Amino acid sequence: MSRTVRRPAPVVTVDGPSGVGKGTLARLLAQRLGFHLLDSGALYRLVGFCARRAGVAFDDPAALAGIARELDVEFVAGDSDPPLRARVAGTDVSDDIRTEAAGRDASLVAAVPAVREALLARQRDFRVPPGLVADGRDMGTVVFPDAEVKLFLTASAEERAHRRYKQLIAKGIDATLTRLSAEIAERDRRDSERAVAPLRPAEDAVVVDTSSLSIDDVLARALQVAAARGVCPRP
Ligand code: DC
């Protein structure tokens, strides 16, 4: 009796530090390839948000992991930014989890090994046909180590602070460049130095420095890398 071994759906991973443009690239790539999208940072943001709302201490790993396991979240496609709206128990919290404070909380809960463990299977469940573009910090190293295409974006901390500043001002949100630079540096440090799943490129990742590239350039480069590995846009 012959058994068919079914290959899992293809995955493109997009990792890199805060504010490097992973989200924008992942959204455009998913559109071009006709793939699903996983914004793994949103999961960490949601855990931080729900923990704060429930009054759970950030130094209580068991309680934080419980929140991660029981997260009643649903991602709904929309045409706004972010492209996937997050609903917790039916309420849209997408804007609440996008603040700088929510980013800081996310970075704190993301350093807790039990939280990462609790989110692992949930992230892998996104890998369904026709394929997935997954954006985060450890997509290529831990969550999808067998991904067909691995991209790692970089840009200087100054450039990333500048981009974030422009985004916030465009949205009418008050911000200062000095404070954003300090926050980005602090998050970089925490995300890179943590003991579990620290931010680093997978050995087989293609590193793209986006400092002086437009988003169109980055997308073109990403599609080139994907095509070389047999992952091509929808006809
Ligand atoms: O990508 P983001 O800014 O939404 O991520 C928020 C935080 O979550 C970030 O500081 C690091 C953490 N994170 C992580 O540790 N692993 C991931 N795969 C995604 C995000």
CA 15–ligand 1 middle distance (angstroms): 10
> Is the minimum distance from the CB of 18 to ligand 1 under 6 angstroms?
yes
Query: What was the pLDDT predicted at 58?
Result: 95
**Residue with CA at minimum distance from ligand 1 atom 2:** 41
Checking if the pLDDT of 12 tops 90, the result is yes
Shortest-distance Cα residue to atom 12 of ligand 1:
107
Q: Please give the mean pLDDT across all residues of the chain.
A: 91
CA of 203 to the centre of ligand 1 (A): 20
147 or 170, which is more confident: 147
What's the CA-to-centroid distance between 136 and ligand 1, angstroms?
Answer: 6
81 pLDDT band, cuts 50/70/90, is low
Distance CA 97, CA 99 (A): 6
Q: Does residue 76 have a pLDDT over 90?
A: no
User: Cα dist. 176→14, 160, 227, 231 in Å?
Assistant: 28, 13, 40, 41
Query: Does ligand 1 have an atom closer than 6 angstroms to the CB of 210?
Result: no
Average pLDDT over residues 74-102: 85
- Per-residue pLDDT of 166-182, as tens digits, reads 988 888 888 899 999 99
Q: Which DSSP category does 230 fall into? A: T
Residue 1 has pLDDT above 60, yes or no: no
Q: Is residue 162 part of a domain?
A: yes
Cβ neighbours, 10 Å, residue 107: 23
Mind listing the pLDDT tens digit for each residue in 98-140? 888 999 999 999 999 999 999 999 999 999 999 999 999 999 9
164 CB near ligand 1 (under 6 Å): no
233 belongs to a structural domain: no
Give the number of domains in the chain: 1
pLDDT over 80 at 82, yes or no: no
Q: Answer yes or no: is 102 within a domain.
A: yes
Q: What is the CATH number of the domain that holds 47?
A: 3.40.50.300
Confidence of residue 234 (pLDDT cuts 50, 70, 90): confident
Residue 195 is predicted with a pLDDT of 83
Is residue 51 in a domain? Answer: yes
| Rg, C-alpha atoms of the chain | 17
Residue 232 has pLDDT above 90, yes or no: no
* For range 135-158, the mean pLDDT: 95
Residue whose CA is closest, atom 1 of ligand 1? 41
Can you give the pLDDT at residue 70? 93
Distance 22 CA to ligand 1 centre (A): 11
Q: Average pLDDT for residues 217-230, to the nearest whole number?
A: 96
Paired strand residues for 12: 133, 149
CA distances from 221 to 24, 198, 208, 225 (A): 14, 25, 8, 6
pLDDT for 153 beyond 90:
yes
Q: Give the domain range for residue 33.
A: 11-225
In a domain, 230, yes or no: no
Is 232 domain-assigned? no
Residues 6+ apart with CB under 8 A from 72: 88, 89
Is the C-beta atom of 103 inside 6 A of ligand 1? yes
- Does 79 score more than 70 pLDDT? no
User: What is the distance between the alpha carbons of residues 122 and 38, in angstroms, rounded to a whole number?
Assistant: 10
pLDDT range class, residue 80, cuts 50, 70, 90: low
User: pLDDT tier at 142 (50, 70, 90 boundaries)?
Assistant: very high
In a domain, 1, yes or no: no
Please give the span between the terminal C-alpha atoms of the chain, in angstroms, as a whole number.
36
The answer to whether position 76 is within a domain reads: yes
Q: How far is the CA of 216 from the centre of ligand 1 (A)?
A: 24
Confidence of residue 2 (pLDDT cuts 50, 70, 90): low
